[in-house]
Each structure stands twice: as C-alpha cells, then as structure tokens.
A = this chain, B = another copy of it.
C-alpha cells in the first residue's frame, strides 16, 4: 500500500517505520528530522527488537508526494490549525485518511474538508518518544483500534486493521469509533491532566487515596458524558473503571504524554482531550464538573 505520514513525531515515525518494514511504500512529511532521515535513514529502538530503515522517503512539503492510498495522521492536536492544509495535497483520487491523533474533534476537521466518507479514526495505545533526529524509541504497547468516522464496520476498516496486523501491530476494526474514543478518554482525561497539573506520575497518584478517589470520580463523569452521546452500547461504569485502574496499577511510574509535554515546556493537547469532550457533554446536558476544573487549571498553566 502507498501511504503518506503527516505529523511524523514519535507516533507517526513509529507506525510509518513499521509499515515500511512490512513492505508498504511509505512517504514521510518531515520537519525536524528531514535531514537526518533522508541522509541516514530511520532507526527504531524497541523491546520487540531494534531495526533500521536505510532508505526512507522524506519530504518537506506534502505537495511533493505522488498519489497515495492512505494518509496517516500523527500530528499533535495543538497543531490542528495546519491539519487540513498539510493533508489537502495528499487527498487525491480515492485516498482515505486515518487520524491516530488524541481526543475528539480531529475526524470532524478532516470530514469537513474532504467528506465524511473518506475519514477513519483510530486510537493508538502506544508508548514512544522521539530520540535524536532520525531515531524513535518505542517503549511498549502499540495496539490500535480503528473505525469509520461515519460508524459501522466497513471492509476498508477491516483491511486497514489487517494491514497493521500483518506489520506486527495488533489492530482491531471497531464498528463504533466514537465509543472507542470515549473509552480512551476515560483514561486520558484523569491521568494526562492530573499528572501534568501536579507533576506526579500515575503510580504516585494512585497511591494517594484522595487522588485515587478523584480519578475514579473523573472517570465516572467521562463515562456518563460518553453514554449521553448515544453510543452503540453504553460503557459500564463500575467494571470499566475497575479495569482502567487495575491496568494503570501495572504501569509503574508511568508519565503520560501530557505530563512530559508540560515538563518539557511544550503546549498541551487541551482542546482535543478536554475542550471538545466538555463541549460534547454540554450539548447533551451533561456537566463534567471535575473535568471542567481540570481543564481550566491546565489551560491556566499554558500561559507560563
């Protein structure tokens, strides 16, 4: 398959490299890593085994890339004002676009520009960081759940899932992408925000009884708001929260991406992870009180 990667950060570089290694033709739109990658290739370090791609097709401008079948979006959502501009030159012929960005609202931006029928979204459970230019560190996981923006289980989504699975990335096509996105928010909203705000990692948060109780309460707010959207099946609060907490207890000392972004002085993905979900909740008459407070205090910190 002929694939373009827009937003070649830790996520875009990792999945792009994995797909190229599996025999796909991959084109990377690059900024920071352009020189390193076009000259020396791309290195992935991973607990699954390091590998190096000697020849990588890198571009400064997406307009230089010929027709592709799939545009894979890994752009950080705080750069979404450039999302459509960067993607437009690539959406020729029958190309479809799969956004693996965080949070809500990304598919909508793409659907408005290119038509809902060309848009898929996915949730990536990936732990990776950029290293030196030309190197990406995969620390663990990588599973993807993807689906049609318009809903329903399409052949196209099933084929894309097969593409990732063949490349070694566990991937599941889901019929209700919105439900998958809200499920991910149940984890992202409390842990990303509280870790970024307090500077504590997930283990420190869970070890403190009152903070753990706040995490559970925040998860409850998110699930209630998600269920108010009319998902295909409601998220069952009690068991899902317990599952999330138990999974997080195994992530010893884990620092979510938003905490690292804050510590390293980068902007946070507040709109996609807080702003849009709060608005969606309000549209259905749900007030996520704790989430609103968390959003306000995270946004306050952005002025530093």
Q: Which residues of A contact B (CB under 8 A)?
A: 194, 197-198, 200, 204-205, 208, 210-211, 213-214, 217, 289-290, 292-297, 299-301, 303
Known: A200-B300, A210-B296, A293-B294. 11 other contacts (CB 8 A): A198-B300, A205-B300, A208-B296, A210-B295, A210-B299, A211-B296, A211-B297, A211-B299, A217-B293, A289-B289, A290-B293
> For A208, what are the chain B residues with a Cβ–Cβ distance below 8 Å?
296, 299-300, 303
Q: Nearest chain-B residue to A200 (Cβ)? A: B300
Q: Which of A200, A208, A296, A301 has the most CB of B within 10 A?
A: A296
How far apart sit A299 and B213, CA to CA, in the bound complex (Å)? 13
> For A293, what are the chain B residues with a Cβ–Cβ distance below 8 Å?
214, 217, 290, 293-294
A295 to chain B, nearest CB (A): 7
> For A299, what are the chain B residues with a Cβ–Cβ distance below 8 Å?
208, 210-211
Known: A213-B296, A214-B296. A198 touches B301 (CB 8 A): yes
How far apart sit A210 and B291, CA to CA, in the bound complex (Å)? 12
How far apart sit A303 and B205, CA to CA, in the bound complex (Å)? 11
Known: A208-B303, A289-B289, A290-B289. A197 touches B297 (CB 8 A): yes
How far apart sit A303 and B210, CA to CA, in the bound complex (Å)? 13
How far apart sit A292 and B293, CA to CA, in the bound complex (Å)? 12
A294 to chain B, nearest CB (A): 8
> For A200, what are the chain B residues with a Cβ–Cβ distance below 8 Å?
300
A111 to chain B, nearest CB (A): 28
> For A296, what are the chain B residues with a Cβ–Cβ distance below 8 Å?
208, 210-211, 213-214
> For A300, what are the chain B residues with a Cβ–Cβ distance below 8 Å?
198, 200, 204-205, 208, 210-211
A123 to chain B, nearest CB (A): 27
A182 to chain B, nearest CB (A): 21
Q: List 18 A-B contacts (CB under 8 A).
A: A197-B197, A197-B297, A198-B297, A198-B300, A200-B300, A205-B300, A210-B300, A211-B296, A211-B297, A211-B299, A211-B300, A213-B296, A214-B292, A214-B296, A214-B297, A289-B290, A290-B293, A293-B293
